[in-house]
Amino acid sequence: MHLFALLFVVLIAGWGGGSASASEETGFRQIVLADGPVMVWYPTAQDAPVTMVADNKAFFGVDVIRDAPVSGANHPLVILSHGYSGLWRNQAWLAGYLARAGYVVASFNHVGTSFGSMDPSWAKDLHRRPAQVSRVLDALLADEDLAPVINAERISVIGHSLGGSTALLVAGGVFDPARLLDACGDDSRKLVCTVYRKGGLSRDMASVSAADPRVASIVLLDMEGIRAFTPESLKGIGIPVLALVSGVEDPALPLGWEGREQAALLPAATSRYAEVIGSTHFSFMSQCKPGAVELLEEDAYVCQGETAPREQLHRRIAETIVTFLTAGKQLVSALQVP
């Protein structure tokens, strides 16, 4: 397939409902499940009192109105899945943008693969992440306040890095551990290979499938692990898939080995692929504050390497995602062609 390094996706807007007016703010509340708290973001007409969430010394947070009422109804739902050793805070910027665009958004820490709470053998239980996504979805659709304002026909999962693999599992992809380990061989440079080996992935593990038929579309943000998914399962995915990948080459996350392989393997009829020029793998995380590089020390790479301002990248990424999600199944402008 020919690849087009495009950022903006030109699609026909086919699904109405769920849009927020320019005057609306970001509402925020928590629901507590057995796995831990789930942060819920949504449009609200209430404009005070404003507080900030997901803010710390290194990363900017998002202004929200806590426990405000949801404005309107028929809102599409997005579930965010963070990356390996990440946190719900990593994509708070995107949650806020989507809420202001009329979406209900849920973010949470994945059990066993979140920062400060890592299971050393997490890769031996690959069902855990997609199962948690489905449980969160169960809870949202059963919540007496949120369920009435959610459009259950417009449910999407957006995943960054390892979260992309989680989203692809939920969409119907089948993860075969042996495929990934065979593709990796003895490679010790590629991040996806070292992370899965360290987590205990082995060739004798059974393939994993975790499709949730309630999910109507997915977005992959610089996903890792496409080579683990069986070609047959990828061809069978019938819901829209948007794959956005970083445009700055990284030896640990080779564009040709990861992102462009997604473009080659995902079904052309239902998937769209774009390289976000100027972005790194970590551009999909929150915006770094001045002084973050010095503060983060050996982890400063999460704030470095971009060739465009992260704030600008975020705006373009979010606009592309909203255009894609609004289009639904009417994917008329292909970013990949035979």
The enclosing domain of 318 has a CATH number of 3.40.50.1820
Q: Is residue 183 part of a domain?
A: no
* pLDDT confidence bin for 23, thresholds 50/70/90: low
**58 token code pair:** 């290194």
Q: Which residue has the higher pLDDT, 6 or 248?
A: 248
Of all residues in the chain, the percent with pLDDT exceeding 70 is 90
Number of domains making up the chain: 1
Residues 6+ apart with CB under 8 A from 288: 58, 59, 60, 302, 303, 310
Q: Is residue 19 part of a domain?
A: yes
Q: Is residue 199 part of a domain?
A: no
Asked whether the predicted pLDDT for residue 18 surpasses 50, the reply is no
Give the pLDDT score at 6. 37
* pLDDT confidence bin for 4, thresholds 50/70/90: very low
Read off the amino acid at residue 194.
T
Give the pLDDT score at 327. 82
- In terms of DSSP H, where are the helices of the chain? 92-100, 128-142, 162-171, 177-184, 191-198, 231-235, 259-265, 292-296, 310-327
Spatial contact of 73 and 103, defined as CB atoms under 8 Å apart:
no
Q: Is residue 103 part of a domain?
A: yes
Q: Is residue 182 part of a domain?
A: no
Q: Is residue 186 part of a domain?
A: no
Asked whether the predicted pLDDT for residue 177 surpasses 80, the reply is yes
Q: What is the pLDDT of residues 295-323, one digit of tens each?
A: 999 999 999 999 999 999 999 999 999 99
Q: Is residue 338 part of a domain?
A: no
Asked whether the predicted pLDDT for residue 118 surpasses 50, the reply is yes
Give the pLDDT score at 331. 54
Q: Averaged over 193-208, what is the pLDDT?
A: 97
* Neighbour-count burial of 332, counting CB atoms closer than 10 A to its CB (0-12 exposed, 13-18 middle, 19+ buried): exposed
Q: Is residue 185 part of a domain?
A: no
Asked whether the predicted pLDDT for residue 12 surpasses 50, the reply is no
Residue with token string 């404005």: 71
Range of the domain at 32: 2-176+206-328
Asked whether the predicted pLDDT for residue 20 surpasses 50, the reply is no
* pLDDT confidence bin for 14, thresholds 50/70/90: very low
Cα torsion for 130, 131, 134, 140, to the nearest 10°?
A: -110
Phi/psi of residue 94, nearest 5 degrees: -75, -40
Q: What is the pLDDT of residues 81-106, one digit of tens each?
A: 999 999 999 999 999 999 999 999 99
User: Cα(140)–Cα(266) distance, rounded to whole angstroms?
Assistant: 29
Spatial contact of 65 and 259, defined as CB atoms under 8 Å apart:
no
Give the pLDDT score at 5. 35
